[in-house]
Structure formats: C-alpha cells, structure tokens
Amino acid sequence: MKEGKKPVVTVTGADCIKDTFCTGGPGGQAQNKKATGVRFTHPPSGAAGECREHRSQEMNKREAWKRMCESKKFQAWIRMEHGRRMGKKTTEQQVDEAMAEFNLKTETLDEKSRWVETKPADLKGEE
C-alpha cells in the first residue's frame, strides 16, 4: 500500500466466524483427535473458505482465509462496500433516478386509436 493512503475497506479475523474441526478420512487416529481443519465465514458477504489438506491447523488457516478472500461472493461484497463508502450510487439508486417521471415517456390511445403522448399530470386521475 502506498504511503499516506488509508484502506477504504478492511476485513480482519474478528469480522469472520472461524470454525475448526477434525478432518477425518485416511491418516489414522491422529486426524480424528486433532482439529486441523479450518473454515472462515464472512457473515456480511456470505463468503466462506475451508481447508483441510494440510496436517497443521496454521497452514489450513492461511489457506482457508485465502480461499474466502478469493471467492466471488467476497469480491462482489468488497466492490459494493467500497462503492458505498466512497459515495457511489447503488444500482437501486441508479434505477430510481432512471425511472423518474421526467425520464419516462407515456402514451395512451385516443378516440381514433392513435398513440398520443401523455403528460405525467394527466395520468394522476387514472390511478
């Protein structure tokens, strides 16, 4: 990170739920006794990363964190959260602006079955 710049979004282990578990499978009784498997879950994004390949919990923890951070859900959440914190408009805000009355053209059929543009004030009585 460049000097003088602060990160906009940070995620730490305190923001996530960490689960440890016995890995099971081949490898004898040691795997059934030691909780070396690790799973990180990031509740705001719904992203999860899990690892049980290594014999040490520390290596599995690093790999699980990396997998969670690289997941599509987490990456999408980071982009949305960054945009929100930087003051960018959300998709819902953009849709609301696009659907404003002055951006819409409404037409109705007249007595001769021709399409005629209707002003928004004309439609208020029809609702």
pLDDT digits (tens, 9 = 90+) for 74-118: 999 998 888 888 887 777 777 888 888 777 788 888 898 898 888
What is the full DSSP assignment across 56-93? SHHHHHHHHHHHHHHSHHHHHHHHHHHHHHTTPPPHHH
Q: Let me know if residue 26 belongs to a domain.
A: yes
Q: Let me know if residue 100 belongs to a domain.
A: no
Domain that holds residue 65: 13-85
Split into its structural domains, the chain has a count of 1
pLDDT of residue 74: 95
Return the CATH number at 42: 3.30.160.20
Q: Let me know if residue 104 belongs to a domain.
A: no
pTM for the predicted model, two decimal places: 0.64
Residue 57 has pLDDT above 60, yes or no: yes
pLDDT of residue 92: 79
Q: Let me know if residue 91 belongs to a domain.
A: no
pLDDT of residue 59: 94
Q: Are 48 and 65 in contact (CB under 8 A)?
A: no
Return d(Cα 106, Cα 70) in angstroms, integer.
46
Q: Let me know if residue 40 belongs to a domain.
A: yes
Return d(Cα 59, Cα 4) in angstroms, integer.
32
